[in-house]
Amino acid sequence: MISFMRAWAAVAVLAVVVAGCSSSSNPDIEPAIEAPAAPIAEPLATGPFTAAQIAKALGEKTFAYSGTGSGTVTFYADGTMSYEEAGKGSGTGIWQASDGSLCQARNPTSFLPKGTPSSCQPFSSDGMRYTAGSMQLQPSS
């Protein structure tokens, strides 16, 4: 008789536990809705970079640049680029990825009458921005 009562008590306890576990499925209780997380910028890949990786990192993307002047620059997949330099104006140029380096040259403009010679600088990243020589490139949001 005692063992029979113990068995019933165990079943009762189990029922309470199961009921507790399933309470979240009660349609009367709204599940908690998590607030949408603020978009987190995906960390940039860090080097060393092959030419293909540099081309993929920059191609068809716009960056805010600083270092030698500041402004925004867009690198196009066809090897051309356009930029807007703060306080000066817009211009175009060419770029090419090299293993471990980014090569750039700016075309002549009114504020840069001779353009710039071809220059290749070591390309790296700290996970937040890319660096090519003295130029820092921050992905534009």
Is residue 76 classed exposed, middle or buried when 0-12, 13-18 and 19+ CB atoms within 10 A define those classes? middle
| Least Å from the CB of residue 67 to another protein | 16
Beta-strand pair 61-66/135-139: antiparallel
Binding site for another protein (CB under 8 A): 51-52, 55, 76, 78-80, 94-99, 101, 103-105, 107, 117-120
| Least Å from the CB of residue 118 to another protein | 4
Q: Residue 4: enclosing H or E segment and its boundaries?
A: helix 2-21
| Least Å from the CB of residue 90 to another protein | 15
Q: Which is nearer to another protein, 46 or 80 (CB)?
A: 80
| Least Å from the CB of residue 110 to another protein | 16
Determine the Cα–Cα distance for residues 107 and 8; give it in Å rounded to an integer.
88
Q: Which is nearer to another protein, 103 or 137 (CB)?
A: 103
Q: Which is nearer to another protein, 62 or 107 (CB)?
A: 107
Q: Which is nearer to another protein, 66 or 121 (CB)?
A: 121
- 115 half-sphere exposure, CB direction, 13 A CA radius: 12
Beta bridge partners of 102: 97, 121
Centroid of chain to Cα 70? 21
